[in-house]
Amino acid sequence: MLLCTGNYKLAMKVFEKIVDLQNELFLVRKEGKSVGLVPTMGALHEGHASLIRRSVKENDVTVVSVFLNPTQFNDKGDLERYPRNLKADCKLVEGCGAQYVFAPSVQEMYPEPDTRQFEFPPQSTVMEGAKRPGHFNGVCQVVSRLFYIVRPNRAYFGEKDWQQIAVVKRLVDYIGMGKTLKIVECPIVREDDGLAMSSRNSLLTKEERAIAPNIYRVLKESVEYAKSHTVEETHDKVVADINAVDGLEVEYFEIVDGNTLLDVKSWDDSDYVVGCITVYCGKTPIRLIDHIKYKA
């Protein structure tokens, strides 16, 4: 066990080793207690806190994993830039009332390279799957490992990574945990100005942070516009309005069926229609993702 906050004494437990966490959870389960898991890559913010609080409310114990998973980064620079702060993460987790942090090393999680291949088309191959080859394979590798290690009753994922939830749901069925593990989808948490909370926001400069809320502003405005315009017109307006902001550049915007994640051509094609966007912000640039529901 590791106490990670210097002179601040943690009441919760922090585990680095799989065996230690499993021994602890064995005792928890022996008492008939339920286990909630909140998988994270650290750099925790209020969005994560909302997942943790929900798990604490719905389970007897909550495990928060803090692991920056290298296998889901197709861009090395993105991995190197990713913010890390385990001390602050532990404080936030404890403040939310969770009992355990699981913070393994890369060696502990992957004693050997993970050669498993997961593909769940179309959910894993469109949008983020197409733009970030290997990304969802890496997510499935680490999430399946976490599920095997923790054996949670419920696992909590934020709707900000909306496509990820669709992929993880396919994964859970694929690995035979569909009947014992519930995937709990939690609403996106936004800053006061509408920017979706993300660990990557801390990498934005002051100027970039000031323009980033335009993404959600345009998405929100497009809901009204969509009522009297076609899917194609709505798509084109969102792309044009965001690209018109100096410093923002749309990578993709797709209006899709919320279940299959395949493009819709007309609003009548589905009862569940979502617009998913990825935007490059600033010079570095920082890649921001968001989405809006047109029909739910």
Q: How far is the CB of 91 from ligand PAF (least distance, A)?
A: 19
Q: Which residues of 88-126 are buried (b: 16+ CB within 10 A; e: fewer)?
A: bbbbbbbebebbbbbbbeeeebbeeebeeebebeebbeb
Pairwise CA distance, residues 90 & 42, whole Å: 9
What is the sign, positive or negative, of the torsion defined by CA atoms of 263, 268, 273, 279? positive
Are 125 and 153 in contact, with CB atoms under 8 Å apart?
no
Q: Are 212 and 204 in contact (CB under 8 A)?
A: yes
Alpha carbon of 53 to those of 16, 26, 48, 95, 153: distances in Å?
A: 22, 23, 9, 9, 16
State in angstroms the smallest separation of the CB of 190 from ligand PAF. Answer: 17
The answer to whether the peptide bond before residue 121 is cis (omega within 30 degrees of 0) is no
User: Which residues, 6 or more positions from 19, have their beta carbon under 8 angstroms from its beta carbon?
Assistant: none
Q: Which helix (H) or strand (E) holds 221?
A: helix 214-226
Task: Provide the minimum distance between the beta carbon of 199 and ligand PAF in the complex, in angstroms, as a whole number.
Answer: 8
Question: Which of 259, 289, 291, 294 has the alpha carbon at shortest distance from 273?
Answer: 294
Pairing of strands 248-257, 182-186: unpaired
Rounded Cα distance, 223 and 160, in Å = 18
CB of 40 to ligand PAF, least distance (A): 5
Q: Among residues 45, 48, 235, 291, which one is catalytic? A: 48
Give the shortest CB-70-to-ligand PAF separation in angstroms: 10
Q: Is 135 tagged catalytic?
A: no
Residue corresponding to tokens 């009753």: 153
Q: How far is the CB of 11 from ligand PAF (least distance, A)?
A: 24
Residues that bind ligand PAF (CB under 6 A): 39-41, 69, 72, 139, 142-143, 161, 164
Helix (H, G, I), strand (E, B) or coil at 36: strand
The enclosing H or E element of 62 equals strand 61-66
- In this complex, which beta carbon is closest to ligand PAF, that of residue 48 or of residue 235? 48
Give the catalytic positions in this structure: 48
